[in-house]
Amino acid sequence: MTMTPPRSSSSGPAPPAPRPPAPAPRPPADTERPRGGRLSTFVRGRWLRTIPGRIGIHVVLCLAAIVALLAVLTVSIGNARDSVQTIGHDAGPQVVATGTLYFALSDMDAQVSNILLIGRDHDLGIGHDRSLRVYEQRRSEADAAAVQAAQLAGGDEALRRTVQEVLDGLGEYERLVGRAMELDAQAGHPPGQLPQQVVDAYRQATDLMKLQLLPKAYNITLDTGAQVRQEYEEKRSAVLSGRTWVAVTGLVVLLLLIATQLYLARTFRRVLNPALVLATLATLALGGVGAGMLTAQAGHMQKAKEDGFDSILQLSRARAISHSAFADESRYLLDPGRADTYEQTYLDKSLSVIQPDLGDKPVNLENYYAGLEEKVGPYKAGEGDVPFLGFFGDEARTVEPGREADALQKTLLAYRTVQRNDARIRELASSGDRAGAVDARMASNAIRDFGVYDKALGELTAVHQDAFDDAVGDADGGLRGWNAVPAAGAAAIALLIFAGVRPRLAEFR
């Protein structure tokens, strides 16, 4: 009989439970956060809570401010340099030269009137041959001035067209003058007694000069002068604005450097950081010297423009108009049919040079002569109120004591002598002594006195030319070396900042 093993009872002991799997090993600490963790830390700004991070912020802000200071200085110095180049070397002198165009054209016509007035007496006045040589000289000067005006025109089509019209008209004027001189030589007339055909030929030439060429030449100088003044104002304004920005950015750099110095002193318990102190002093020097240089440049350019350019241009107009008025004396005598017209144009031109206060008196030559003696005679240049207007009135209101005042006084005295001679010439002509009037006009005394006046006016212009040259020279000297100074200064300040913070950062390595 087979025995069956007994079944285990359910109430017996339970088998042991299986052990849970061992946890996976944790990655090393340096691999727990992937590379993206550092970026996340930077984005979250955790690094700002560290001392090195805060030092870095100070350095970055200081360097950004230094770059801004460098940029502002560079732009401002460029504007100052452009201002000096424009008014001192390029457009300014060229515009003054265009004033020669009006003078040269005026004197050309003056020499023609003298040649025709003396007729067959070739030795009267400065003589036929010398007058002709002066005419040719003025023709060359007019050509040169027109070329400079064309250069100034640049892309200004209207100005270029005006210059071309002057050149074309000058060719026509020479043709008409040639015809008048040819008829004059054939006539062989006594001084002041021109045949009507000569007078008619000259009228065509002088009308072309007075009605077309001279107004256009005057407008060329006015237009080009206005362009230079506009450029000057823009550049000077930019320089002064640059000075303000240099001061502001320099102050920002100083404040940031001081803040960095204070942070390092508080954090590391040290009184001063020598390198940062030097950086602060260097910033103060660069900003202060830069702002001072820009201030000086604005002053130099103001002097060059007001004491030099404006006065030279104004006096060149006075000289041209004076020569044209002096020629009107000849026209007054050689063309009796237009004597009243030439007398009025002489008065108008004289008034533009000096306009004395005539009160309620009629404005005519007789009262003009009296007004000169009454108002201009007692006047002392540089002293008291100026009792007259005109080009010399403007000059008298800005005259400075010394050489300039002396030159102006000499010019005014010579001008009064010229006007006394004119009064004598017209007195003879109005009394019927035409030959005496011609002789007085072409006499050596009248021509010599006008030459003395012209020389005195040239000396007065030379005073302003010296002031212009001195101001431009000072401006050029003040800019010397400033191409490299801003960059070198900014680089030195940046190196000092790095030198100041590097030892502190090294303590955390």
The pLDDT value given to residue 49:
64
Separation between Cα atoms, residue 111 and residue 106, nearest integer Å: 9
CA angle, 381 then 382 then 383, to 5° = 95
Cβ pair 105, 142 in contact under 8 A? yes
Separation between Cα atoms, residue 48 and residue 42, nearest integer Å: 8
Q: State which H helix or E strand residue 224 sits in.
A: helix 214-268
Whole-Å CA distances, 418 to 200, 377, 412, 431: 29, 13, 10, 20
Task: Tell me the three state secondary structure of residue 383.
Answer: coil
Separation between Cα atoms, residue 384 and residue 387, nearest integer Å: 9
Alpha-helical segments (H) within 304-380: 311-334, 339-353, 365-371
Tens digit of pLDDT for each residue in 297-325?
A: 999 988 888 888 888 888 988 998 998 89
23 inside domain: no
59 inside domain: yes
Say how many domains are in the chain. Answer: 1
| Full residue range of the structural domain in which residue 74 is found | 51-506
141 inside domain: yes
Tens digit of pLDDT for each residue in 102-114?
A: 888 888 888 888 8
Low-confidence ranges of the chain (pLDDT < 50): 1-4, 6-12, 27-36, 39, 41-42
The CA dihedral of 34, 35, 40, 46, to the nearest 10 degrees, is 100
The pLDDT value given to residue 151:
76
Separation between Cα atoms, residue 190 and residue 195, nearest integer Å: 10
Given phi > 0 = left and psi -120 to 50 = alpha, else beta, which region is 45? left
The pLDDT value given to residue 416:
94
100 inside domain: yes
16 inside domain: no
Q: What is the pTM of this model?
A: 0.78
40 inside domain: no
Going by DSSP bridges, is the β-strand pair 355-356/388-389 parallel, antiparallel, or unpaired?
antiparallel
Render 283-303 in DSSP notation, one character per residue. Answer: HHHHHHHHHHHHHHHHHHHHH
Cβ pair 140, 158 in contact under 8 A? no
The pLDDT value given to residue 436:
85
417 inside domain: yes
416 inside domain: yes
Separation between Cα atoms, residue 417 and residue 436, nearest integer Å: 19
Whole-Å CA distances, 410 to 209, 219, 454: 31, 30, 11
The pLDDT value given to residue 41:
47
